[in-house]
Structure 1
Amino acid sequence: MTRLQLTVLATLGHVATLGGAFLFQAFGYAPCAMCLWQRWPHAAAILFGVLALAGIAPRIMAGVAGVSALITSGIGVYHAGVEQKWWDGPSSCTGGGSDLGGFSGTDLLSTDIVDTVVMCDDIVWQLGLTMAGWNAVLSLGLAIIWAIAARRAT
């Protein structure tokens, strides 16, 4: 495949992954804080892919997009480990409940807050891997495609 084809493939891969996250959200799977962290590198990779497709330093943009894919993959691995209880996650979004400083007194007394807070260590969907695990695997695959695209002469 040419660099152009690989760039299109990887960019569309990020569009599909990010679109899938928003689709799950539309179906009622509210994202936790770590889920949202994983979305930003996908958005960045899409931007870098579009710039590469526009002819702006395509090799460099492919390399930077690959780094973005590796970042979201790493966050996905970390998040999946938190979900599986392999290691602790941020106290602000895990079941420990020790960091309530982000809530106002009204929030703490509200009965609505339970419906809006999604804990990062809860698994809300799993098909072999959790959503975070799938993000890690798919993003690693995209990083590999970006690396190949960055090394292609044309």
Structure 2
Amino acid sequence: MDSLGKARLLAVLVPAALLGGAYVAQYSFGLPPCEMCWWQRYPHFAALGIAGLSFVIQPARVWVALAGFAIITSGFIGGFHAGVEYGWWEGITGCSTLPSSVDVMNVSAAPLIRCDVAPWTLFGVSLAGFNFLISCTAGAAIVALAAYRK
């Protein structure tokens, strides 16, 4: 398989695997996403669509590279979110603060999902942290492979 084929395969598999993992965590393990978790999913959705275009529209290298940049974008959002979870900096959304008692009375039965609390960690790394690590390294590899020419 040439470098473009490898990049194309990664551009589809990486966001599909990360989105699949997010949905397994959500629906199988009861970890509903916060607002910032959703922000991380959107570039992966875009990456899947853009990577799909690389199979039908030329030049494929451009589409694969764009998919790689979308994956890296999700990784940077994940890195920011992980920093919020670890308390390195404050988040920019309302999901990083506790609601007032008035807000609690007006909220429906929907659970309050905090952005500044990691619902799950492995070796001290949250899901957002893993997204950062995987997306940035895989995204960079995709862009590099797409740029490589024989």
TM-score by length of 2: 0.87
Aligned to 2:85: 83
SS of 1:54's partner is coil
Q: Is the 8 A contact 1:13 1:142 kept in 2?
A: yes
Q: Is the 8 A contact 1:79 1:89 kept in 2?
A: yes
Q: How does 1:64-79 map to 2 (within 5 A)?
A: 64-79=66-81
Q: Which moved more, 1:65-74 or 1:130-139?
A: 65-74
SS of 1:42's partner is helix
Q: Distance in 2 between matches of 1:91 and 1:68?
A: 22
Per the TM alignment, residue 55 of structure 1 is displaced from its structure 2 partner at its CA by 4.2
**94 and 5 in structure 1: CA distance in 2 versus 1, 3 angstrom threshold:** same
Q: Which of 134, 138, 146 lines up with 1:138 in the alignment?
A: 134
Question: Could you tell me the percent identity over the aligned residues?
Answer: 32
Q: Is the 8 A contact 1:89 1:121 kept in 2?
A: yes
How many pairs are equivalent? Answer: 146
Q: How does 1:30-109 map to 2 (within 5 A)?
A: 30-97=32-99, 108-109=105-106
Q: Is the 8 A contact 1:83 1:121 kept in 2?
A: yes
Q: Is the 8 A contact 2:7 2:143 kept in 1?
A: no
Aligned to 1:4: 5
Matched, 1:13 2:10: no
What are structure 2's unaligned runs of at least 5 residues?
none
Which 4+ stretches in 1 moved above 6 angstroms? Answer: none
**97 and 91 in structure 1: CA distance in 2 versus 1, 3 angstrom threshold:** farther
Q: Which of 144, 150, 153 lines up with 2:149 in the alignment?
A: 153
The amino acid that maps onto 2:87 is K
The amino acid that maps onto 2:105 is L
The amino acid that maps onto 1:11 is V
Q: Which moved more, 1:48-57 or 1:126-135?
A: 48-57
What are structure 1's unaligned runs of at least 5 residues?
none
**109 and 15 in structure 1: CA distance in 2 versus 1, 3 angstrom threshold:** same
The amino acid that maps onto 1:127 is L
Q: Is the 8 A contact 2:15 2:48 kept in 1?
A: yes
Q: Distance in 1 between matches of 2:11 and 2:67?
A: 9
Aligned to 2:24: 23
